Copies of this chain bind each other. A is one copy, B any other.
Amino acid sequence: MNITLKEIAELTSGELEGDAAKTITGAAGLADAVETDVSFLGNPKYGAQAAASKAGCLLLPKSAKGIAGVSANRIYVEDAQWAFAQVLDIIEKELLKPVPPAIDQRTQIHHEARLSPNLTIGPFTVIDRRAIIGEGTVIGPQCFIGFNSRIGKNCRIYPQVTIRENVVLGDRCVVHSGTVIGADGFGFSTDRKTGAHRKIPQIGKVVIEDDVEIGSNVSIDRATVGVTKIGAGTKIDNLVQIAHNVHVGRNCLIVSQVGIAGSTKVGDQVILGGQVGVVGHVNIGDGAILTAQTGVMSDIEPKSVMFGSPARPHREAMKLQALINKLPEIYEAVKSFRGKQKPEPEGDHAKTA
């Protein structure tokens, strides 16, 4: 990359302050940036780091106008993080020069599969019978796309992804390596006499809507009957478990190692923090935020912020944690109270009565 501040300001629709002709060749975080890098201040709490940064130019929110002590070369933008992302986009395109679409010779593509134009399919990938792959999609090496599954347009499937039968992916979806979509849900019927767990066939589907990104080593199970669904624009981090018949809404953020049990419904714009666990058959309302490690055992109201296992409203949970810290003090007081009581035991009263 070789870009002037003037060009960055244009790219990000920003307002430039400083040396418009200065050339930037890289991008970095505040702490790592050098004179030829652009960096950004996304959160005012990192103001001290911004002041200490050696970045040749800073992308700043408009609210930071006139901020003292940081680089003289500044570009004020609506959203500094997003402006930075736009610069990264340029660097990425240079780093990873796109290769022309091509289907490797060493794939196994069933003759009843339907391939659109402009596909890239890597070596040792298997496309099963009646699978349909949309235009412009890139499927990495060593992937498996099962019977009757349909991948939309301009998707990106990284190496070693398994997509089983009857799975639907929308357009512009990204699936990272090691992820398994459409494995059987965990459904067994226990024979009360023998204790044996008999398999309930899992014959439902998985539907992933447009613009969903799914991290690495994620497991999304097919429905028993009906559908397991991930709404458009939802982003799922690594090592997440989505059980059979779960419905996740639109634009959710599901952080790493979250587990959602069967048939639970998650609303739109929900944020599930790392390692959150949600039991089956409950509803998480739109806009709810469950902070990391929260354990949910019942319905969650829209827009609520929850913490803890079992989950409580965040403020309440924090207050209870503070009170738990006071338990030694509380217990001492209780002992002291009981000590006070002892000189006047019930028996004494009886005597005096």
Interface of A toward B, CB cutoff 8 Å: 27-29, 32, 79, 81-82, 84-85, 88-89, 91-92, 95-96, 104, 106, 108, 122-124, 126, 140-142, 144, 147, 158-160, 162, 164-166, 174, 176-180, 183-184, 186, 188-189, 191-192, 195-201, 203, 211, 213, 215-219, 221, 224-226, 233, 235, 237-239, 241, 243, 245, 250-251, 253, 255-257, 259, 261, 268-269, 274-275, 277, 279, 292-293, 295, 297, 308-310, 312, 319-321, 323-331, 333-334, 336-338, 340-341
Once bound together, how far apart are the Cα atoms of A123 and B142, in whole Å?
10
| Given contacts A186-B256, A203-B92, A225-B28, A321 and B325 within 8 Å (CB-CB) | no
B144 touches A142 (CB 8 A): yes
A188 touches B253 (CB 8 A): yes
Instruction: Identify which of B213, B226, B241, B255 contacts A256 (C-beta below 8 A).
Output: B241
Q: Of residues A27, A203, A319, which shows the largest number of chain B Cβ atoms within 10 Å of its Cβ?
A: A203
Residues of chain B lying within 8 A (CB to CB) of residue A186: 215, 235, 237-238, 255-256
Instruction: Identify which of B96, B166, B176 contacts A147 (C-beta below 8 A).
Output: B96
Residues of chain B lying within 8 A (CB to CB) of residue A203: 88, 91-92, 95
B196 touches A233 (CB 8 A): yes
Once bound together, how far apart are the Cα atoms of A299 and B307, in whole Å?
19
| Given contacts A124-B108, A124-B126, A217 and B219 within 8 Å (CB-CB) | yes
A96 touches B126 (CB 8 A): no
Q: Besides A91-B203, A106-B108, 17 other CB < 8 A contacts? A: A29-B224, A79-B191, A81-B200, A85-B189, A85-B200, A124-B142, A160-B160, A174-B199, A183-B238, A184-B215, A199-B213, A217-B218, A238-B241, A261-B274, A279-B292, A330-B331, A333-B334
Residues of chain B lying within 8 A (CB to CB) of residue A327: 320, 323-324
A195 touches B269 (CB 8 A): yes
Residues of chain B lying within 8 A (CB to CB) of residue A92: 201, 203
A280 to B, closest residue via Cβ: B274
Report the minimal beta-carbon distance from A125 to chain B, rounded to whole angstroms. Answer: 9
